[in-house]
Amino acid sequence: MHTLKGKTALVTGSTSGIGLAIASELASQGANIVLNGFGDADAAVKQIASYGVAVRYHGADMSQPAEIEAMMRYAAAELGAVDILVNNAGIQHVAALEHFPPERWDAIIAINLTAAFHTSRLAIPAMRERNWGRIVNVASVHGLVASRQKSAYVAAKHGLIGLTKVAALELAETGVTCNAICPGWVRTPLVMEQIEARAREEGVSVQEAQRELLSEKQPSHDFVTAEQLGQLVVFLCSPAASQIRGAAWNVDGGWVAQ
Ligand code: NAD
């Protein structure tokens, strides 16, 4: 155990949901953690500290390249250059293309895609130098297949998988890997907002809206858990995964198999 002892992991958007679960699984393996995101950072810091690892928090807004640069400098100064980079911060907006607010498009592309370009370009030099590194991009089934009313999100997640492949190729002769994970429905605040909105629109209970959502797309009719995604990231950081490069791992209860 503690297979990642001494490594520094930066997980963007890790104050809640999937990011916090990924940070927790990495911390359970001994990695020191830099957290990022909005909301209750103190609770997230406490949760990670309970694993007995070093933990820092930086509140960079991932839509702002200058703040991303400041966060990368802070991480290196506090805990050493980033060994494991998890690009997880993400937002969503649901609207038909012709009604999609242009400013929401820009924000979704900036946070879900462009931020990963900036963190990666800034993390790669030290990873190359040490000939070890892991970059994991949290994409989505929407990086592999589309859904109506999610134009910016689908475009950003498809782009993120493209970026993953290019990074993997450029790093192929080094000990640095880059892969994407593609969750289906995971029960997090992001998804609960959508379920609650749907329940309001249709005048049904939250439980009914949740049942409909799962039965439409996810053949297992069950949520993926954030912990399962964290365990997959730990696996991608392990020696067994050193030749997994440029892959997009769907963890989706069978969604894209249909
Ligand atoms: P969440 O809303 O619980 O967490 C999102 C995190 O990103 C939070 O920590 C939030 O503070 C942070 N964040 C948002 N905007 C930010 C910004 N501008 N700068 C810095 N941090 C910011 O959502 P989640 O469901 O845990 O989503 C995490 C990732 O997983 C996202 O990339 C999302 O697209 C992806 N994903 C989620 C699901 C799902 O079903 N929940 C499915 C597939 C993919």
**What spacing in Å lies between the alpha carbon of 44 and ligand 1's midpoint?**
14
pLDDT tens string 183-214: 999 999 878 988 999 999 999 999 999 999 99
| CA 166 remoteness from chain centre | 18
pLDDT tens string 66-87: 999 999 999 999 999 999 999 9
Q: Determine if ligand 1 sits within 6 Å of the CB of residue 186.
A: yes
Complex ipTM value: 0.99
By DSSP bridging, strand 32-36 and strand 8-11 are: parallel
**Sheet order of strands, 55-58 included:** 55-58, 32-36, 8-11, 84-87, 133-138, 176-183, 248-251
pLDDT tens string 113-155: 999 999 999 999 999 999 999 999 999 999 999 999 999 999 9
Return the H-helix or E-strand segment holding 211.
helix 206-217
pLDDT at 104 over 90: yes
From 88, 213, 232, mutation site for ligand 1 pocket: most ligand atoms within 8 A of C-beta: 88
pLDDT tens string 1-39: 579 999 999 999 999 999 999 999 999 999 999 999 999
Atom of ligand 1 nearest to the CA of 18: 26
Question: Is 51 designated active site?
Answer: no
